[in-house]
Amino acid sequence: MPLITYREALKNALSEEIERDENVFILGEEVAQYNGAYKVTEGLWKKYGDKRVVDTPISEAGFIGMGIGAAMLGLRPVIELMFWSFAYEGFDQIVNNAGCVRYMSGGLVNLPLVIRGPANGGTNVGATHSHTPENLLATTPGLKVVTPATAYDAKGLMKTAIRDNDPVMVMENTLLYGEKWEVPDEEYLVPLGVADVKRQGNDITL
């Protein structure tokens, strides 16, 4: 089984899903020509072009809203945030629009949206780039949150998130981007909401 980095696992997941489904596309600040702030989208713009990898202005509220609208129309956008700290600029879009669409439509409208990017401190990027708002988002009705800890999980969860019909927030750890794990070449998915039991116990289960 090949060893690949957390970053490569995410990129491979994005590439495979773009090829699998013509409705999948990526948008965000500098995701195309610059290859993304942490190079997760490296090479995807050259491979798939302007309609599948879309650079946006610096307006999180704007491009998150654009992604929500696209998802309501049946596309499957994957939005990159340079840092999850910047989600606060688009929190109204995430909480009041993305999170509420299914409820406000009586379950008639899907919102297959992924928002992904780095969410951690400890990398000398400053306080305003170091928030990890998974607790806020996980308690918001209508949203799903994943925080992959290995390259295997990163790829499998990303592919599952893209195929999900509800908004999924994927929070990546910057410190893990260059770390390597075994990841199979063949297709696999990691299901949302299912525990990965490492060791079963009577009092405590890991």
Entry field: residues in the chain: 206
Task: Find the mean pLDDT for residues 128-140.
Answer: 90
Tell me if residue 60 is catalytic.
Answer: yes
Residue 75 class from Cβ within 10 Å (0-12 exposed, 13-18 middle, 19+ buried)?
A: middle
State if pTM tops 0.75: yes
Average per-residue pLDDT for the chain: 95
Whole-angstrom CA distances from 71 to 11, 95, 160, 163, 165 are 21, 15, 16, 12, 9
Task: Find the mean pLDDT for residues 114-124.
Answer: 88
Q: Homologous superfamily of 3-182 in CATH?
A: Thiamin diphosphate (ThDP)-binding fold, Pyr/PP domains (3.40.50.970)
- Please give the backbone phi and psi of residue 70, each rounded to the nearest 5 degrees, phi first: -65, -40
Give percent of the chain above pLDDT 70: 100
Q: Supply the pLDDT for residue 1.
A: 86
Residue 16: CB atoms within 10 A of its CB come to 16
Per-residue pLDDT band at 128 (split at 50, 70, 90): confident
Active-site residue (options: 17, 60, 80, 172): 60
Active-site residue (options: 17, 29, 80, 129): 129
Whole-angstrom CA distances from 22 to 15, 25, 29, 138, 204 are 11, 8, 22, 29, 44
Q: Supply the pLDDT for residue 203.
A: 95
Which of 42, 119, 28 minimizes the C-alpha distance to 70? 28
Parse the chain into domains and list their residue ranges. 3-182
Contacts of 162 (CB under 8 A, 6+ apart): 13, 14, 17, 21, 24, 76, 78, 112, 114
* Residue labelled with tokens 């997941």: 13
